[in-house]
Amino acid sequence: MNAPKPFSLTVDAATVVSALWWQPPRPHAVYVFAHGAGAGMQHSFMDALSQALSAQSIATLRYQFPYMERGSKRPDSPAVAHAAVRAAVAEAHRCLPDVPLLAGGKSFGGRMTSQAQAAEAMPGVHGLVFVGFPLHPAGKPGVERAAHLADVDVPILFLQGTRDELADLALLRGVVAGLGAKATLQLEDDADHAFHVRARSGRNDAQVVQSLASGLASWLPRIARWCVTKQRLS
């Protein structure tokens, strides 16, 4: 089996971060996969999902946000995080310019990616994929964090656990419905924000990871249809 290759990603003249590139033979798509606020790109969940995506012929580019690279626990400001997102997306597009490019990430990483895309569409991005969108802080339900998604002009896939403490399910369903045809919600029964499931669910965490990967792969035809429609309208 192929393995991820480490490299250095230049964000700007003063900032270089670590990154991992995982490319299967004949990839059907590439996913720029940003990490969450509390753990970096080598977290076991991100590694497992990247491996499962590789088995689905989807390449991944993982990278560290600058704060994580420095060993800090305090996430970067949105401006700094957005710059890292844009650098990673540009690198993935350079490496695989002829396959659909997806961007997003786990929790904080996904939200920073969508904010960047909403502020100024990133060249080459065909869709956004959230792996646990953090709709609100734990215990403080709200939808303000999703307001910018109305300005995203590409299809969006929400991969979400039904026990996610950062995304009240009723509120999340309302957000997805409000986004219309561009948004798709895939729910993982009994999974929490870390995509951990209890034994009584009848599944284990590894099976959830496989479900996430197959769900993303099954969503790719929607990207293809969107590309055709956009070309016809342009």
- The model carries a pTM of 0.95
* Number of domains the chain is built from: 1
DSSP-based three-state secondary structure for 171:
helix
Residue 186 φ/ψ, nearest 5 degrees: -115, 120
Q: Are 190 and 163 in contact (CB under 8 A)?
A: yes
Give the chain's mean pLDDT. 95
pLDDT value of residue 99: 95
| Separation between Cα atoms, residue 107 and residue 88, nearest integer Å | 17
User: How big is the chain, counted in residues?
Assistant: 234
pLDDT value of residue 1: 57
Q: Are 146 and 135 in contact (CB under 8 A)?
A: yes
pLDDT tens digit string along 54-106?
999 999 999 999 999 999 999 999 999 999 999 999 999 999 999 999 999 99
Q: Are 50 and 4 in contact (CB under 8 A)?
A: yes
- Token pair, residue 178, equals 């409000």
pLDDT tens digit string along 204-220?
999 999 999 999 999 99
pLDDT tens digit string along 27-60?
999 999 999 999 999 999 999 999 999 999 999 9
* Domain housing 76: 5-233
Question: Number of helices (H) and strands (E), helices first, in the chain?
Answer: 6, 8
The enclosing domain of 76 has a CATH number of 3.40.50.1820
pLDDT tens digit string along 12-22?
999 999 999 99
**What sign for the dihedral angle of Cα 99, 100, 105, 110?**
positive
pLDDT tens digit string along 100-158?
999 999 999 999 999 999 999 999 999 999 999 999 999 999 999 999 999 999 999 99
Residue percentage of the chain with pLDDT more than 70: 96
pLDDT tens digit string along 152-194?
999 999 999 999 999 999 999 999 999 999 999 999 999 999 9
